[in-house]
C-alpha cells in the first residue's frame, strides 16, 4: 500500500504541475484566457471582421486580405464622412450603420449590390458584435466613438432568431455530384476551367471559395442561368479592337502604361493576349458576361441543383 | 460475476436504445425545452467530464486488444509462454474496463439527450441509421470480447488460430465502432451533407464521411494505441513497486517494458498524424484554423508542447534507466549525454512562443517587437525541425537500447532470401511513396516565381531515395550498422539541418511553400524510421548475446517515469479533447446550429486546466478501482493454491 | 581497476547549469548582436530565461539519474566521508547557496517593483485617408531633375534627420542611444522599404504625436515636422532618405 500511496502522490504532483502551468499561461496570455476581446471596442470588432463576421471574404483593408468583391476599406472613416454629406446623412457613423443594416441602399460605384445582411443567417452577428465592427471601421482613418455608436444603437437590429425561408432543392440531389461536375474536365464546359474553389481551378472568373457563406441560393441560381445579370467587379468583359482590325472579347487581366493583358476564350481554352498601347484601336466594357449563358441546355436539372447545393456547401 | 457483466452491458445498450426512441417521440410533442442542467450543475461541464471519461476508457478498450492480439501472435510464433500470459493479463484488464466503458457511454447518452434535447434531436435526425448500426455492432464487440477472454483455455491447444481470429475480429469491431462515433464528433466540426440554412439532410453519406472524419480517425487510432500502452505501463509500474518476490518483479518489469515500447512506438508517428489533422482543419475552415493556431487556442499548444515534451523525456529516461539491467549496455552509455542535451534543446525550442509578450523595459532594450529567440525559435520552420530531431533522437535511443546486449551479429547474407525480399519490399514501398509525393510536388499549381522554391524539396527527396538505395545495398554487403548510421546521418542533414534553414528562406520569400516543406520533412524522416527499423530487425536476428537482461533489476526511479508517461498522456488526451471540441466556439454544429445555452463560453485556460485535472483524477481513480476489482479473483486463487 | 574515491558529478551538474545560464544570460545577447548586425545587445526576456533555466536544471537531473551508479555518485557528494578540503568547502558552498538562491527567488518575486505593463503594439498603423492618395510631386520629372532633388534631399536629410537616424540612415545617429525605442534603421529592408512614400510623408509630417492610440504614440520620440519643413522639402527628404538607405519604396498597386 505504501508504494501505491507514493504512486498516487506522484501522479497528483504531475497534475498539480499541469494545473499550475495552465494558470501561469492564463496570466501570461493576458488574463483573458484566450477567449479574445469581447464587448463594443475596436479590438473585438477587428476580430469579428476577420473571423466570425466573414467581412474579409469580400473586403480587404489596405494590403491585408486579398478579396476584391467589395471595396477596400482602408481609410473608410474619412470616406464615410464625405459620403454622409453627399447623401444628406448627419454623420459618417450613420453612413456606416446604413451600409451594414441596409447594404443595398447605397452601392459604391463600380461594385455590385451583393452584400448580405450580416444579422441574418448564416453570419448571424448580434447587435453588440455589429457595434464592435462599426467601432473598428471607425478606426480605419479615424477614431472610434463608442458613445456615439451607443446612441444610435436602436438603428441596428438584433440577430434574427427566426428561421430564414428554407431553400430546398426541388428534387433530391447530392452535393458531391455537383462537386464532381464542377471539376469534371471531360465535360463540354467545366466550372473549374474559370472558377477556383479552395485553390483548385483557374482564375478567370471570381474565386468561389466560401461563396456559400455569403450568398443566397437564389443568387447562385440566377448567376448560373443568367450570368450577365450581375458581373462581379473586375470580371467584366472587354471588347477590344486592335490596330490590325481584329476584334477580341475577353476579361481584362491587367492594365498598365506599357501593356494590356486580355484573357480570351479560344475554343474552350483561356489564352492570354498582351497588347501594347499602340496596338489598341478601341477598348470598351461590355454588359455581357464571358460566362456561357446556355447552362440550362448543358446541364440536366439533377446536375444543376447538384452544383447549386455544392456551391452552398462551400463555407 | 462475469455473466453479470455481460448482462449489465447489454442492459445498458437496450435501455439506451429505448430511451433514444422515447426522447425522439417526446420531442415532437413539445419543442420548448432546449437545455436542461444536471442537478443544478452546468450541463456543459458535466458532458465535458463524462465524455472525456468515456473517451479515455474507450481508448483503453480499443488500444489494449490491438497489442494483446499482437502479443499473442508473437507468443504463438516464438513459443514463449510469457507472451501468452501477458496477452491474457491484458485481456483480463480489458473485460473489466469494457463494462465501465459501456456504463459511461450510457451515462453520456443520457446526459446528452437529457441536457441538450434540441441538439440531440437534430443529431438523431441526421444520424439515426448509423446510431442503429452502432448499437448493433456493440453486440458483436461484446460477444467477441467475452468469447476471446473465456475461450482462452478451451482453445489453447487446438484452436489457437481461431482464438486469434476472434481477437482480430474484436479489433475490427472495436475500430469500426470508434469510426462510427467519430463521424458524429467531426460532423459537429465540419458539417457536410446538410443544408446549412435549413438543416435538411441532403446526403447521409456526406454527413458521415465529412471532411475531418478520416484525419480524426487516423489520429485517434494511433493515439489510442499509445494511450493503451502507457496505461498498461503504469499498471505494471504500480504492481512492480508493490511486489515482493523477484519473480513478480521480473514479470512486471517486463510488462512495463512492453507497455512503454508500444506506447513509444505509437507516439513517434503521432505528431505526423496530428500535423495532418491540423492541416485539414485549416482547409475545412480557415477561420477555425486561425482560432486554433493563431487565436484563442494558440496558448493551449504551449501546454501541449510541455506535455509532449514530458512524454518524450519520460520515454527516453525509462529506456536509459532500463539499460542499467542489461549487461553490455555500458558500451552505449557514452551516447546518452548527447541525446539528453539534444532532447532538452529541442524541447526548449519547441516551447518558445512566437508571440511572447514583453514588458516595456525589455522591448526598449531589445529595440524591436520580437526577441531573436522567439523570432527564430517561435516559428513553424524551427519547430518542425526540432520535432523531427526529437523523434529521430528518440529512435536512436531506442536503437541503442535494442542492441545493448547484442554482440557479434550474423552476416546479413546468411539470413537468406526472405530477409532480402522483406527488405527490398519495405524499401521499395517507401521509395514509391517518396516518388509519388515528389511527383505531386512537381505538379503543384503555383505561380512561377513561387514555384521555383519547390525544386530544392524535390532534390531533397531524390537525395533521400539515393541514400535509401545505398543503405539497402550496404546492408546486403553485410555492412548493416554503417548503413543505418549513413541513413540517419543523411536524414538529419536533410530534414533537420537543411530544411530548417530552407524553411526560414521560404518563410520570407514564398510562404505558400512552407506546407509542402513540412510534409517533405515528415516524409523523409518517416522513410528513414521505417527502413532503419526493418534493417535493425534483421541485423540483430540471432545475434550473439554478450549479456543477459536481468528483468526486475531496473532502478525504482524508472517506474516513476512510467507513471509520468501515463499521467501525461491521459492529461494530453484531455487537453486535446478540449481543443478539438472547443474549436467550434459557440456552435453545436459549426456554421449551422448555435449553442445558446449559458454554458456556451470559451473557458479560460485555467478553468480548462482544473476541469482536465479533475477528469484525469477521476479516470485514474476509476481505472485503479476497476483493476483492483479485476485482481480480486486472482488473489483468492493464489491464496488457495498455497 | 581502482574505483574512484570521490565523485564530483554534482559539481559537474551545477557547473553545466551555470554554463547554460551564462550562455543564455550573457553570451546570447552578444551573439545575436553580432549575428544580426545590431549595435546593441539583445538581452533574453525574463520569461524565456526562467523557462530555459528550468529546462536546464531538469536536464541535468535527468542525466545524473539515468543509472543507479550515477545517481549514487551524484548524491554521495553530500554525504560525509573521508573528504579532502576542497570537497568540504564545495559542500558548504552548496549547503549555503541553495537556501540563499531560494530566498532570492522569493524576495524578487514579492518585492514591490515598477514594471511597465506588458502590451502588444501595432507595428504598421493604418495610413490616414488624407495621405492615402498623395503622390510624390517629383515622381514624374525628368531623370536629371530627379537626381538634383535627391541630392538636395540628401542634404536636407543630413541637416534635419541625421542626429537621430544617423548619417548612413542606419538608425545610429549621435542621439540614438538616448531613446527608449531606438530610431528606426532605414537600411533594414523591413522598414521604409515596405511602405509607400506617402506613408513616410505622413510619419514625417505628424511624427509620434500623430500616431493612433494602438501604436502607443508615447513610445515614439519622432517630432512632427509640419511646422518646420515645407511639403516640397519633405518630399525631397524622402527621396534623399531612400537613396541614403539604399532601399526603394513600395510601389502602389494599380488603383481600380
Chain C residues with CB inside 8 Å of B348's CB? 51-52, 55
pLDDT value of residue C141: 82
Interface partners of chain B (CB pairs < 8 Å, 3 or more) are: A, C
pLDDT value for A246: 74
Question: B 191-250 residues with CB below 8 A of A?
Answer: 192-193, 195-198, 200, 202-203, 205-206, 237-238, 241-242
* Contact status of A203 with chain B (Cβ, < 8 Å): no
Residue B187: all three cell numbers together: 460532423
- A contacts of B602 (beta carbons < 8 Å): 33-36
pLDDT surpasses 90 at A58: no
What would the pLDDT profile of C66-86 be if each residue is shown by its tens digit? 888 888 888 888 777 666 778
DSSP A156: S
Q: A23 to chain B: which residues are within 8 Å by CB?
A: 605-606, 609
Considering only CB atoms, B348 lies closest to which of C55, C65, C118, namely: C55
User: Residue C169 region, left (φ>0) first, then alpha (ψ -120 to 50), else beta?
Assistant: left
CB contact under 8 A, C67 and B555: yes
Quickly state the pLDDT bin for C208 (edges 50, 70, 90): confident
Which has the higher per-residue pLDDT, A232 or B129?
B129
Tell me which residues of chain C have a C-beta less than 8 Å from any C-beta of chain B.
28, 32, 35-36, 38, 40-48, 51-52, 55-56, 58-59, 62-63, 65-68, 71, 115-121, 123, 180-182
Q: What is the pLDDT of residues B290-302, one digit of tens each?
A: 667 655 677 788 8
Portion of chain B with pLDDT greater than 70, in percent? 89
Most confident of A301-305, B179-183, C66-70, C82-86: B179-183
pLDDT above 80 (res C25): yes
Phi/psi for B343 (5° steps) reads -65, -45
Taken as a whole, chain B contains a residue count of: 642
Q: How far is C127 from chain A (nearest CA, A)?
A: 7
The answer on pLDDT for B507 being more than 60 is yes
pLDDT at B209: 87
Q: What is the mean pLDDT of residues B310-317?
A: 91
pLDDT above 90 as % of chain B: 23
Q: Do C181 and B367 touch (CB under 8 A)?
A: yes
Query: What average pLDDT does range B404-424 have in this prediction?
Result: 82
| Residue C123 in contact with partner chain A when CB distance is under 8 A | no
> Among A235-244, B47-56, B187-196, B203-212, which is the least confidently predicted range?
A235-244
Q: Is C129 on the interface with A (CB under 8 A)?
A: yes
pLDDT band at C50 (very low <50, low <70, confident <90, very high): confident
Query: What is the bridge-based pairing of β-strands B587-589 and B593-594?
Result: antiparallel
Q: pLDDT category, B486, cuts 50, 70, 90?
A: very high
pLDDT of residue B26: 40
Q: Do A110 and C128 touch (CB under 8 A)?
A: no
Enumerate residues 575 to 594 of chain B having a beta carbon within 8 A of any beta carbon in chain A.
591-592, 594
B261 and chain C: CB distance < 8 Å anywhere? no
Taking CB atoms and an 8 Å cutoff, what residues of chain C touch A139? Answer: 126, 212, 214
For the cut 60, the answer to whether the pLDDT of residue B343 exceeds it is yes
pLDDT of residue A38 exceeding 80, the answer is no
The model's pTM is: 0.65
| pLDDT over threshold 90, residue B435 | yes
| Contacts of residue B593, Cβ cutoff 8 Å, sequence gap at least 6 | B119, B122, B199, B587
Long-range residue pairs from B500-507, CB within 8 A, at least 24 positions apart, any chain: B500/B381, B500/B382, B500/B384, B500/B385, B502/B456, B503/B380, B503/B381, B503/B382, B503/B384, B503/B385, B504/B376, B504/B379, B504/B381, B504/B382, B505/B453, B506/B381, B506/B453, B507/B379, B507/B380, B507/B381
Higher pLDDT, residue B486 or A230: B486
Quote the minimal CA–CA distance from B306 to chain A in Å. Answer: 9
B242 contacts A4? CB cut-off 8 A: yes
Q: Which of A42, A78, A233 sits opposite C130 (nearest CB)?
A: A78
DSSP C124: S
Residue A256: which of C129, C214, C254 has the nearest Cβ? C254
Residue of chain A with shortest Cα separation from B242: A3
Could you tell me which residue, B32 or C37, shows the higher pLDDT? C37
| Cβ distance of A213 and B591 shorter than 8 Å | yes
The tens digit of pLDDT for each residue in B535-556 reads: 888 888 878 888 788 888 888 8
Beta-carbon separation of A175 and B604 below 8 A:
no
Task: Give the confidence band of B19 by pLDDT, cuts at 50, 70, 90.
Answer: very low
What's the rounded Cα separation, in Å, for the pair C109 and B179? 50
Task: Return the H-helix or E-strand segment holding B184.
Answer: helix B160-189
- What is the pLDDT at residue A35? 40
Which pLDDT score is estimated for C3? 46
Q: Which residues of B touch C182 (CB under 8 A)?
A: 367
Q: Are the Cβ atoms of B238 and A12 closer than 8 angstroms?
A: no
Q: What is the structure's pLDDT at A310? A: 84
- Show me where the domains of chain B are located: 35-326+563-629, 368-548
| Mean pLDDT calculated for residue range B564-575 | 93
pLDDT bucket at B612, cuts 50 / 70 / 90: very high
pLDDT band at A33 (very low <50, low <70, confident <90, very high): very low
What's the burial of B70, exposed, middle or buried (CB within 10 Å: 0-12/13-18/19+)?
Answer: middle
**If you average pLDDT over residues B405-411, what whole number do you get?**
80
* Least CB–CB distance from A74: residue in C47, C118, C132: C132
pLDDT at B54: 92
Instruction: Dig out the grid coordinates for A158 from the structure.
Output: 438584433
Residue B461: is its pLDDT beyond 90?
yes
Q: Which three cell numbers stand for residue A190?
A: 467545366
**Interface membership of B48 toward C (CB under 8 Å):** no
CATH 3.40.50.300 fits C129-245, yes or no: no
Q: What does the pLDDT look like over A166-192, one tens digit per residue?
A: 566 777 777 778 888 888 877 777 788
Angle (deg, nearest 10), helices B213-242 and B81-115: 120
At A268-287, the pLDDT tens digits run 667 777 888 777 777 777 77
Give the pLDDT band of residue C251 (cuts 50, 70, 90): low
What is the mean predicted confidence (pLDDT) over B109-121? Answer: 87
Mean pLDDT in residue range B357-369: 70
| C129, C254, C256 member nearest A110 (Cβ) | C256
Cα distance between residue A201 and residue A94, in whole Å? 41
ipTM summary value: 0.79
What pLDDT was estimated at residue C77?
80
Average the pLDDT over C198-209 and give the result. Answer: 85
- With beta carbons under 8 A apart, name residues in chain B contacting C121: 363, 369
Q: Where are the domains of chain C?
A: 9-110, 129-245
Among the listed ranges B118-127, C154-163, C183-192, C212-221, which one has the minimum average pLDDT value? C212-221
Q: What pLDDT, on a 0 to 100 scale, did the predictor assign at position C215?
A: 62
Q: What cell numbers appear for A228 in the block?
A: 450577365
Q: Which residues contact B109 (CB under 8 A, 6 or more apart)?
A: B16, B19, B20
Q: Who wins on pLDDT, A230 or B463?
A: B463
Angstroms from C145 CA to nearest CA on chain B: 35
> CA-CA distance, C207 to B99, in Å (whole number)?
71
- The pLDDT of A20-31, averaged and rounded, is 72
Interface contact B340-C55, CB threshold 8 A: no
**Which residues 597-626 of B have a C-beta within 8 angstroms of A?**
601-610, 612-613, 616-617, 620
Question: Please, which pLDDT band fits residue B596 given cuts at 50, 70 and 90?
Answer: confident
- Cell readout for B483 is 548503413
Tell me what the pLDDT averaged over chain B comes to: 83
Look at residue B157 and tell me whether its pLDDT is greater than 70: yes
Cβ contact, residue pair A51, B290, below 8 Å: yes
Q: Which tens digits make up the pLDDT trace of B221-230?
A: 999 999 989 9
Angle, CA A117 vertex, CA A115 and CA A121 arms, to 5° = 120
Amino acid at each position: 500500500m505504501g508504494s501505491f500511496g507514493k504512486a498516487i502522490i506522484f501522479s497528483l504532483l504531475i497534475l498539480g504541475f499541469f494545473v499550475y502551468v495552465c494558470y501561469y499561461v492564463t496570466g501570461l496570455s493576458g488574463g483573458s484566457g484566450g477567449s479574445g476581446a469581447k464587448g463594443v471596442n475596436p479590438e473585438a470588432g477587428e476580430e469579428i471582421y476577420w473571423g466570425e463576421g466573414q467581412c474579409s471574404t469580400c473586403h480587404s483593408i489596405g494590403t491585408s486580405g486579398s478579396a476584391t468583391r467589395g471595396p477596400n476599406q482602408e481609410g473608410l472613416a474619412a470616406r464615410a464622412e464625405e459620403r454622409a454629406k453627399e447623401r444628406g446623412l448627419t454623420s459618417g457613423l450613420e453612413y456606416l450603420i446604413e451600409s451594414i443594416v441596409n447594404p443595398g441602399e447605397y452601392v459604391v460605384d463600380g461594385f455590385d449590390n451583393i452584400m448580405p445582411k450580416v444579422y441574418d443567417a448564416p453570419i448571424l452577428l448580434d447587435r453588440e458584435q455589429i457595434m464592435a465592427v462599426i467601432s473598428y471601421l471607425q478606426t480605419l482613418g479615424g477614431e472610434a466613438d463608442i458613445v456615439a455608436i451607443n446612441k444610435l444603437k436602436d438603428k441596428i437590429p438584433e440577430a434574427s432568431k427566426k428561421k430564414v425561408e428554407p431553400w430546398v432543392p426541388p428534387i433530391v440531389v447530392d452535393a458531391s455530384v455537383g462537386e464532381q461536375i464542377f471539376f469534371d474536365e471531360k465535360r463540354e464546359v467545366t466550372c473549374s476551367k474559370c472558377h477556383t474553389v479552395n485553390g483548385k481551378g483557374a482564375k478567370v472568373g471570381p474565386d468561389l471559395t466560401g461563396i456559400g457563406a455569403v450568398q443566397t441560393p437564389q443568387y447562385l441560381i440566377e448567376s448560373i442561368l443568367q450570368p450577365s445579370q450581375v458581373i462581379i467587379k473586375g470580371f467584366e468583359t472587354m471588347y477590344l479592337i486592335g490596330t490590325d482590325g481584329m476584334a477580341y472579347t475577353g476579361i481584362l487581366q491587367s492594365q498598365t502604361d506599357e501593356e494590356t493583358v486580355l484573357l480570351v476564350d479560344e475554343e474552350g481554352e483561356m489564352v492570354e493576349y498582351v497588347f501594347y498601347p499602340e496596338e489598341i484601336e478601341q477598348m470598351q466594357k461590355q454588359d455581357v458576361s464571358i460566362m456561357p449563358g446556355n447552362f440550362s441546355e448543358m446541364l440536366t436539372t439533377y446536375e444543376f441543383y447538384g452544383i447549386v447545393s455544392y456551391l452552398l456547401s462551400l463555407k | 460475476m462475469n455473466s453479470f457483466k455481460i448482462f449489465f452491458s447489454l442492459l445498458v445498450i437496450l435501455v439506451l436504445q429505448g430511451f433514444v426512441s422515447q426522447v425522439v417521440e417526446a420531442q415532437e410533442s413539445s419543442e420548448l425545452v432546449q437545455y436542461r442542467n444536471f442537478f443544478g450543475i452546468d450541463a456543459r461541464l458535466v458532458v465535458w467530464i463524462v465524455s472525456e471519461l468515456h473517451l479515455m476508457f474507450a481508448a483503453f478498450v480499443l488500444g489494449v486488444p490491438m497489442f494483446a492480439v499482437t502479443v499473442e501472435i508473437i507468443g504463438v510464433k516464438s513459443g514463449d509462454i510469457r507472451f501468452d500470459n501477458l496477452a491474457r493479463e491484458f485481456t483480463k484488464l480489458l473485460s473489466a474496463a469494457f463494462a465501465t466503458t459501456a456504463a459511461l457511454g450510457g451515462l453520456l447518452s443520457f446526459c446528452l439527450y437529457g441536457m441538450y434535447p434540441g441538439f440531440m434531436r437534430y443529431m438523431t435526425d441526421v444520424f439515426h441509421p448509423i446510431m442503429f448500426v452502432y448499437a448493433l455492432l456493440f453486440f458483436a464487440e461484446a460477444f467477441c470480447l467475452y468469447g476471446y477472454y473465456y475461450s482462452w483455455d478451451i482453445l489453447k491447444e487446438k484452436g489457437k488460430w481461431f482464438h486469434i481470429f476472434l481477437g482480430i475480429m474484436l479489433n475490427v469491431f472495436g475500430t469500426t465502432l470508434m469510426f462510427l462515433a467519430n463521424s458524429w464528433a467531426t460532423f459537429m466540426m465540419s458539417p457536410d451533407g446538410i443544408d446549412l440554412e435549413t438543416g435538411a439532410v441532403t446526403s447521409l453519406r456526406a454527413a458521415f464521411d465529412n471532411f475531418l472524419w478520416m484525419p480524426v480517425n487516423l489520429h485517434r487510432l494511433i493515439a489510442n494505441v499509445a494511450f493503451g500502452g502507457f496505461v498498461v505501463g503504469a499498471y505494471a509500474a504500480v504492481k512492480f513497486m508493490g511486489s515482493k518476490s523477484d519473480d513478480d518483479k521480473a514479470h512486471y518489469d517486463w510488462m512495463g517494458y512492453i507497455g512503454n515500447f508500444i506506447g513509444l512506438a505509437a507516439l513517434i508517428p503521432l505528431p505526423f498524424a496530428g500535423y495532418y489533422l491540423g492541416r485539414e482543419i485549416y482547409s475545412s475552415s480557415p477561420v477555425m484554423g486561425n482560432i486554433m493556431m493563431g487565436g484563442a487556442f494558440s496558448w493551449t499548444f504551449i501546454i501541449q508542447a510541455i506535455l509532449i515534451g514530458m512524454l518524450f523525456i519520460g520515454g527516453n529516461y525509462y529506456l536509459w534507466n532500463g539499460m542499467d539491467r542489461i549487461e553490455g549496455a555500458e558500451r552505449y552509455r557514452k551516447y546518452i549525454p548527447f541525446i539528453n542535451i539534444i532532447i532538452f534543446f529541442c524541447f526548449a525550442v519547441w516551447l518558445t512562443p512566437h508571440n511572447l509578450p514583453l514588458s516595456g523595459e525589455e522591448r526598449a532594450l531589445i529595440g524591436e517587437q520580437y526577441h531573436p529567440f522567439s523570432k527564430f525559435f517561435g516559428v513553424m520552420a524551427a519547430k518542425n525541425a526540432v520535432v523531427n530531431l526529437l523523434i529521430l533522437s528518440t529512435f536512436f535511443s531506442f536503437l541503442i537500447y535494442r542492441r545493448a546486449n547484442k554482440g557479434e551479429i550474423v552476416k546479413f547474407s546468411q539470413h537468406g532470401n526472405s530477409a532480402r525480399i522483406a527488405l527490398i519490399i519495405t524499401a521499395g514501398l517507401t521509395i514509391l511513396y517518396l516518388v509519388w509525393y515528389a511527383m505531386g510536388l512537381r505538379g503543384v499549381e503555383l505561380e512561377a516565381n513561387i514555384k521555383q522554391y519547390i525544386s530544392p524539396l524535390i532534390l531533397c527527396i531524390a537525395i533521400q531515395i539515393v541514400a535509401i538505395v545505398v543503405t539497402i545495398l550496404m546492408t546486403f554487403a553485410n555492412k548493416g550498422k554503417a548503413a543505418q548510421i549513413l541513413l540517419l546521418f543523411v536524414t538529419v542533414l536533410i530534414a533537420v539541418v537543411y530544411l530548417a534553414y530552407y524553411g526560414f528562406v521560404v518563410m520570407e520569400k514564398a510562404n505558400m511553400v512552407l506546407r509542402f516543406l513540412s510534409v517533405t520533412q515528415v516524409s523523409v524522416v518517416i522513410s528513414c524510421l521505417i527502413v532503419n527499423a526493418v534493417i535493425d530487425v534483421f541485423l540483430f536476428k540471432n545475434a550473439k548475446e554478450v549479456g543477459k537482461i536481468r528483468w526486475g533489476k531496473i532502478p525504482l526511479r524508472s517506474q516513476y517515469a512510467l507513471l509520468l508517461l501515463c499521467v501525461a498522456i491521459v492529461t494530453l488526451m484531455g487537453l486535446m479533447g478540449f481543443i478539438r471540441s472547443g474549436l467550434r466556439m459557440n456552435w453545436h454544429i459549426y456554421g449551422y446550429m448555435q449553442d445558446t445555452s449559458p454554458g456556451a463560453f470559451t473557458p479560460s485556460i485555467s478553468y480548462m486546466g482544473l476541469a482536465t485535472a479533475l477528469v484525469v483524477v477521476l479516470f485514474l481513480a476509476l481505472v485503479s478501482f476497476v483493476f483492483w476489482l479485476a485482481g480480486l479473483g486472482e488473489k483468492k486463487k493464489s491464496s488457495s493454491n498455497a | 581497476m581502482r574505483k574512484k574515491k570521490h565523485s564530483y558529478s554534482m559539481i559537474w551538474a551545477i557547473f553545466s547549469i551555470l554554463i547554460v545560464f551564462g550562455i543564455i544570460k550573457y553570451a546570447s545577447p552578444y551573439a545575436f548582436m553580432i549575428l544580426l548586425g545590431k549595435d546593441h545587445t539583445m538581452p533574453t526576456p525574463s520569461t524565456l530565461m526562467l523557462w530555459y533555466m528550468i529546462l536546464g536544471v531538469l536536464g541535468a537531473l535527468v542525466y545524473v539519474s539515468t543509472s543507479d551508479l550515477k545517481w549514487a555518485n551524484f548524491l554521495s557528494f553530500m554525504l560525509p566521508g573521508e573528504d579532502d578540503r576542497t570537497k568540504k568547502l564545495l559542500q558548504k558552498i552548496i549547503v549555503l547557496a541553495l537556501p540563499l538562491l531560494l530566498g532570492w527567488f522569493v524576495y524578487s518575486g514579492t518585492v514591490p517593483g515598477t514594471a511597465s505593463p506588458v502590451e502588444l503594439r501595432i507595428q504598421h498603423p493604418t495610413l490616414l485617408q488624407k495621405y492615402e492618395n498623395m503622390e510624390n510631386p517629383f515622381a514624374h520629372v525628368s531623370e536629371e531633375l530627379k537626381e538634383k532633388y535627391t541630392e538636395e534631399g540628401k542634404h536636407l536629410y543630413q541637416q534635419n534627420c541625421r542626429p537621430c537616424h544617423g548619417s548612413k540612415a542606419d538608425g545610429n545617429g549621435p542621439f540614438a542611444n538616448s531613446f527608449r525605442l531606438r530610431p528606426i534603421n532605414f537600411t533594414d529592408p523591413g522598414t521604409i522599404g515596405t511602405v509607400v512614400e506617402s506613408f513616410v510623408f505622413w510619419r514625417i509630417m505628424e511624427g509620434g504625436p500623430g500616431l493612433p492610440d494602438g501604436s502607443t504614440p508615447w513610445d515614439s520620440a519622432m517630432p512632427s515636422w509640419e511646422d518646420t519643413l515645407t511639403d516640397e522639402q519633405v518630399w525631397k527628404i524622402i527621396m534623399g532618405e531612400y537613396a541614403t538607405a539604399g532601399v526603394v519604396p513600395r510601389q502602389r498597386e494599380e488603383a481600380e
